[in-house]
Structure 1
Amino acid sequence: MNSYDMLVIGSGPAGRRAAVQSAKLGKSVLVVDKGRRLGGVSVHTGTIPSKTLRETVLNLSGWRERGFYGRGYRVKQVISAADLVERLRKTLDHEVEVLQHQFMRNAVKSTQATAHFSSSNTARLTTELGDVSEVQFEKALISVGTRPYRPDNIPFDHKRVFDSDEILDIETLPRTLIVIGGGVIGVEYATIFSALDVPVTLIEGRNTILEFVDKELVEDFMHQMRDRGMSIRLGATVATVTASDKGVEVTLSDGRLIKADALLYAAGRSGNVPTLGLETVGIATDARGRIEVDHSTFQTSVPHIYAAGDVIGFPSLASTSMEQGRIAACHAFGVHLPAPPETFPYGIYAVPEISTVGLSEEDVRKTGQAYECGVARFRETSRGHIMGVNNGFLKLIFSLESRRLLGAHIVGEGATELIHIGQAVINLKGTVDYFVNNTFNFPTLAEAYKIAGLDAWNRMGAPDPIAS
């Protein structure tokens, strides 16, 4: 029986980072993944595919140029599903190649198999051909990711009704589309298809979408969605879904009937844990297959078995999963790490992008502290005008007492890149005066930080010389 210092189950962002970190600490590592290629959900059905699809759509549709040339402008007049898949495959091939090379450089072994705990220090590996072997391990990390939640009342058929994994294999672009789910995945795909000029109806049972995002951003985002012809149905759950050769019909709990050519169900995900044999080692999961961990070390209820990534639930971001995997590996082998920063950015790759870091205005109000906001509209910047950006804005929230930046929130072109300026200032305890006194490249969208800083500073006034 082969023995390893670290057994990593799953090769997504958390598993990949934990494996490499363990190897760099001089440990023997085996990565087990049941997929035919390394990369996990992130590379094959999640983060990378959806973002590649988005970029392909924006390029082929000419979306970014429509501010100048009108809504009827297109780079490619007829866009097919094959056009989208071609770029997707090239990107995925590259990602897998990079990952394989990274494992090779760091002497990380990998195998394609399904892992099942047979004891607290051994696991049974079963290949696709049915070959069975056992491995022994000192430490283990569970990073198996999640799969789309598929309720029994939704008639998934891979022809008219899809989940968020299956939609990547769509053979023909739908003429009209219904998206159920106003979370990150649903909103991303709804706006991507809308950018292809597919009429989209987004259904969310709650009274708003993206509940964790600053409400002012969500309101602006929804206005942009409706302005380009998207329909948004809030506050009513799905009663029935029927599919036929003619299309899909959805009846809502309030009696409304919605028809479309196809439907994407994107309301929640479940952990990929059924085959792991967690009951053997005494690790429990919740109703959605998520594993509870100590969020400072990522240890499960079994101290030498760790879990990281989407399988432990919120925030379920590739970026945070990578860091969780690194922290877990370091803790497993006695490497002390400083406490991580309190804030990290969220990126929503919709059309347009949304990104946020720190406290929302609603969060600040709950703390009871006095605050002021500064706003900069992208269309008011020279770079925004050059790019033909008609929408989008940056919102900064400052404490009136300390003048520190509490939150930065962006909706619009380049949001997921621009947010890192706000992230750095928050984590370095910077104030509104940083934005006022520093010079930004011109013309850039980043200049919006100075504009928003000045907007807030004009109401806050100069700092008290005695207090400073």
Structure 2
Amino acid sequence: MTGLPAMTAPAKPETFDFDVLVIGSGPGGEGAAMQAAKHGKRVGMVEKYHQIGGNCTHRGTIPSKALRYAIFQMMEVNSNKLFAEHGLSAHLSFQKLRRTARAVIERQVQMRSTFYERNDVPVLKGTAKFIDQHTILVTEHDEGHKLVTAEHIVVATGSRPYRPAEVDFNHPRVFDSDTILDLAYDVRSATVYGAGVIGCEYASMFRNLDCKVNLVNTRDKLLEFLDEEIVDALSYHFRDRGMLIRHHETLDFVEPREDCVIVHLKSGKQLRTDILLYAAGRTGNTDDMNLEAVGITPDQRGNLKVNDHYQTAIPTIYAVGDVIGFPALASAAYSQGRHAASHLLGEDQLVGIGEIPTGIYTSPEISSIGKTERELTEAKVPYEVGHSQFKSLARAQITGQTTGMLKILFHRETLEILGIHCFGANASEIIHIGQAIMAQPAPNNTLLYFINTTFNYPTMAEAYRVAALNGFNRVA
């Protein structure tokens, strides 16, 4: 390999520095490191940035959700009749709303740092390059170099926003999902190109800040992997809030100006707004890792292919989290890391992954687990549907958060729960009640659990009983 400092030959297997070396301290890397350390293995962590936590803690999940909640709190104040009667309102700038995330990030970093300290896992600060399948060259922040060897290596380097070369991301009015958090001025209009999870979440946040929003979708529907009824409800809600959704559009070119940015679409449309947020896809962080030296080839988006136990083409090298692509969820990454570690440990009982719930933090939230109606129809499974509209729940009426519904899909004959889909306030919390029941062995995983269980009143959890009774009435 060219361009690397002269080093001694890699150590022999009996002199490994670590049993397990993890590259990247996001959720996937943390899950793998802690699982291996708890089982007595010598574990090392390589982290590119000065603080641990990965993109999830510093640029993704934590700061974006903290920003979302700050916006929600301001909206609550401004829509509350009690406050309005006393002349109270809140109009905070984007920068001030963004600051609320800093304290959360600091607490997350501090807490996670103690995990490594308590478990005697040294954190090597620097970038990682493969020398061979057991040897990593760590280039430290002070430009020093260190060779580190390990019996097993877990790649958990995450992903970053995809940046096409023809878009000038250095322009002060062009952003991606990392740089948007550094927006230093208030905007009155925004174009969001890309209507995946990140695009929909940020489009929702900007609309809640009373920005005019163009949401440009390259597909025919929003979030096509979700249940169609939920997607329809989200689209209706976005449009009802004044958002303009443009489906089946493709970017031609971007024209950034001093006072605005004009997005030219191949259909001939021109969208002129204060800023552009480009949110069409992500790229795995595998550049400059010299993976070719060990016979691993990332795909065109930089993602790594793995088997059911998260092994790459080289059995001693694992990959977890966003760097392997879908589902690219922090929750899934942590479970993947633990599973990979339990597999390399040779455990008989591997950490299970199970059904992975989706959590999409639009306003209102979306969360789902299990099969969609489309999937059940294609598989010719005889199913039925139970609905609960939030507007009918006393708790929703009390809080004023009446937009949304809970939907249960179940087998017509056995009443087994096949899928649960929720759209509305706290959907990402509500879904876990259904997840727990779906995971039970038969016959405890049926609609009857929700029918025969007493729920606190008034609660949002009561939606399960209402939806179960609604569905049961269709087959009784």
Q: TM-score of the superposition, structure 1-length normalised?
A: 0.95
Question: How far apart in 2 are the matches of 1:73 and 1:165?
Answer: 39
Per-residue displacement from partner, 1:300-352 (whole Å, max 9, x unpaired)?
11111111000011111111100110111111121222573642211001111
Offset of residue 224 of structure 1: 0.8
Which residue of 1 is the match for residue 71 of structure 2? 57
Distance 1:211 1:137, change over 3 A: same
Task: Give distance in 1, aligned partners of 2:87 and 2:363.
Answer: 16
Matched, 1:7 2:21: yes
The aligned residue for residue 271 of structure 1 is 284
The alpha-carbon deviation at position 30 of structure 1 amounts to: 1.0
Q: Tell me whether 128-137 or 138-147 shows the greater mean CA deviation.
A: 128-137
How many pairs were matched up? 459
Q: Which residue identity does 2:56 align to in structure 1? A: S
**Residue matched to 1:465:** none
Tell me if the contact between 1:191 and 1:225 (Cα under 8 Å) persists in the aligned partners: yes
Q: TM-score, normalised by structure 2?
A: 0.93
Q: Report deviation, 1:77.
A: 2.9
Matched, 1:187 2:200: yes
**In structure 2, do the counterparts of structure 1 residues 69 and 369 end up closer, same or farther at CA, with 3 Å as the change threshold?**
farther
**In 2, distance between residues paired with 1:112 and 1:71?**
51
8 Å contact from structure 2 (residues 93, 186) kept in 1? yes
Q: Is 1:121 aligned to residue 134 of structure 2?
A: yes
In the alignment, what sits opposite 1:360?
372
Say whether residues 1:307 and 2:322 are aligned partners. no
Aligned to 1:31: 45
Once the two structures are TM-superposed, the CA of residue 75 in structure 1 deviates from its matched residue by 6.7
Q: Show CA shifts across 1:61-110 (max 9, x none).
A: 327x7376799999753211231232111111011001101111111110
1:434 aligns with 2:449: yes
Q: Does 2:237 align with 1:208? A: no
Aligned to 1:280: 293
The reply to whether residue 78 of structure 1 matches residue 91 of structure 2 is yes
| Equivalent position SS for 2:188 | coil
CA contact (8 A) 1:291 1:312 kept: yes
2:246 aligns to what?
Answer: 233
Deviates more, 1:162-171 or 1:147-156: 147-156
Structure 1 partner of 2:105:
92
* CA–CA separation in structure 2 for the residues paired with 1:458 and 1:70: 43
Aligned to 2:458: 443
Q: Do the aligned residues in 2 keep the contact of 1:408 with 1:419 (CA within 8 Å)?
A: yes
Contact 2:422–2:431 at 8 Å: present in 1 too?
A: yes
Question: Are the counterparts in 2 of residues 357 and 407 from structure 1 also a CA contact under 8 Å?
Answer: yes
Long gaps (5+) in structure 1: 462-468
Q: CA–CA distance in 2 between the matches of 1:394 and 1:73?
A: 36
| Structure 2 CA distance for aligned equivalents of residues 120 and 380 of structure 1 | 59
Match of 1:409 in 2: 421
The AA in structure 2 aligned to 1:318 is A
1:341–1:282 Cα change, 3 Å: closer
| 5+ residue gaps, structure 2 | 1-10
Moved more, 78-87 or 127-136: 78-87
**Counterparts of 2:83 and 2:414, CA distance in 1:** 45
Q: Which amino acid aligns with 1:303?
A: P
* Paired AA for residue 453 in structure 1: A
2:348 pairs with one of 333, 336, 359: 336
Separation (CA, whole Å) in 2 of partners of 1:71 and 1:249: 38
The residue that corresponds to 1:16 in the other structure is 30
Once residues 46 and 382 of structure 2 are traced to their aligned partners in structure 1, the CA distance between those partners, rounded to angstroms, is 51
SS at 2:17 equivalent:
strand
Structure 1 counterpart SS, 2:97: helix
Measured in 2, the distance between the counterparts of 1:424 and 1:431 equals 11
Matched, 1:105 2:118: yes
**Displacement of 1:158:** 4.9
CA distance in 2, matches of 1:23, 1:404: 39
User: Relative to 1, partners in 2 of residues 1:197 and 1:311: Cα closer, same or farther, differing over 3 Å?
Assistant: same
Partner SS state of residue 232, structure 1: strand
Amino acid at match of 1:43: T
Give the drift of 1:27.
1.1
Q: Report which stretch shifted further, 248-257 or 258-267.
A: 248-257
Partner-residue secondary structure (3-state), 1:207: coil
Say whether the 8 Å CA contact 2:364–2:424 is kept in structure 1.
Answer: yes
Whole-angstrom distance in 2 between the partners of 1:231 and 1:20:
45
Structure 2 counterpart of 1:167 = 180
Partner Cα distance (2:207, 2:372) in 1: 28
State the Cα RMSD in Å: 1.9
* Larger displacement relative to structure 2 (73-82 or 228-237): 73-82
Do the aligned partners of 2:83 and 2:89 also contact (CA within 8 Å) in 1? no
Separation in 1 of the partners of 2:328 and 2:185? 30
| Structure 1 residues 209 and 67, CA gap change in structure 2 (3 angstroms) | farther
- Show the counterpart of 2:329: 317
**How has the CA–CA distance of structure 1 residues 219 and 157 changed in structure 2, closer, same or farther, with 3 Å as cutoff?**
same
Amino acid at match of 2:348: H
Q: Which residue of 390, 397, 405 corresponds with 1:385?
A: 397
Pair 1:105–1:250, CA change in 2 (3 A): same
Report the CA distance shift for 1:350/1:395 in structure 2 as closer, same or farther (over 3 A).
same
